[in-house]
Amino acid sequence: MNEDIVKLIALQEVDSEIAGFDRQVNEKKQVITDRTQSITDKELQISQSSQKSEDLTQQHNEITAQLEDAQIMIKERQNKMMLVQTSREHQALLKEIEENKKLIKESEERLLLIMEQTEKLENESQELQNICKGEKEILDEETIKVQKQIDKVNKRRTKVADKRGKLSSKLKPNILKRYNLLLAKKSGVAVVQTINGVCQGCYMSIPPQQFNVIRKGETMNLCPTCHRILYYKEKEPEAV
Ligand SMILES: [Zn+2]
Distance 186 CA to ligand 1 centre (A): 10
- pTM above threshold 0.95: no
Distance 212 CA to ligand 1 centre (A): 16
* Domain 14-161: assigned CATH number: 1.10.287.1490
Distance 193 CA to ligand 1 centre (A): 9
Query: Average pLDDT in the 13-31 region?
Result: 96
Distance 228 CA to ligand 1 centre (A): 6
**238: pLDDT strictly greater than 70:** no
Distance 227 CA to ligand 1 centre (A): 6
Separation of alpha carbons 191 and 222, rounded Å? 9
Separation of alpha carbons 55 and 145, rounded Å? 42
**Predicted confidence (pLDDT) per residue in 105-163, tens digit:** 999 999 999 999 999 999 999 999 999 999 999 999 999 999 999 999 999 999 999 99
Distance 161 CA to ligand 1 centre (A): 27
Distance 195 CA to ligand 1 centre (A): 11
Beta carbons within 8 Å of 88's beta carbon, 6+ residues apart = none
Separation of alpha carbons 73 and 85, rounded Å? 20
Distance 230 CA to ligand 1 centre (A): 8
Distance 201 CA to ligand 1 centre (A): 5
Per-residue pLDDT band at 237 (split at 50, 70, 90): low
Distance 188 CA to ligand 1 centre (A): 14
Distance 213 CA to ligand 1 centre (A): 16
Q: Domain map of the chain by residue range?
A: 14-161, 173-231
**Predicted confidence (pLDDT) per residue in 57-93, tens digit:** 999 999 999 999 999 999 999 999 999 999 999 999 9
Distance 159 CA to ligand 1 centre (A): 30
Question: How far lies 233's CA from each of 134, 186, 219, in Å?
Answer: 55, 21, 14
Distance 236 CA to ligand 1 centre (A): 17
Beta carbons within 8 Å of 45's beta carbon, 6+ residues apart = 128
> Is residue 32 a contact partner of residue 145, using CB atoms and an 8 Å limit?
no
HEC profile for the chain? CCHHHHHHHHHHHHHHHHHHHHHHHHHHHHHHHHHHHHHHHHHHHHHHHHHHHHHHHHHHHHHHHHHHHHHHHHHHHHHHHCCCCCHHHHHHHHHHHHHHHHHHHHHHHHHHHHHHHHHHHHHHHHHHHHHHHHHHHHHHHHHHHHHHHHHHHHHHHHHHHHHHHHHHHCCCHHHHHHHHHHHHHCCCCCEEEEECCEECCCCCECCHHHHHHHHHCCCCEECCCCCCEEECCCCCCCCC
CA angle 229–233–238, rounded 5-degree value: 110
Distance 129 CA to ligand 1 centre (A): 54
Separation of alpha carbons 220 and 179, rounded Å? 12
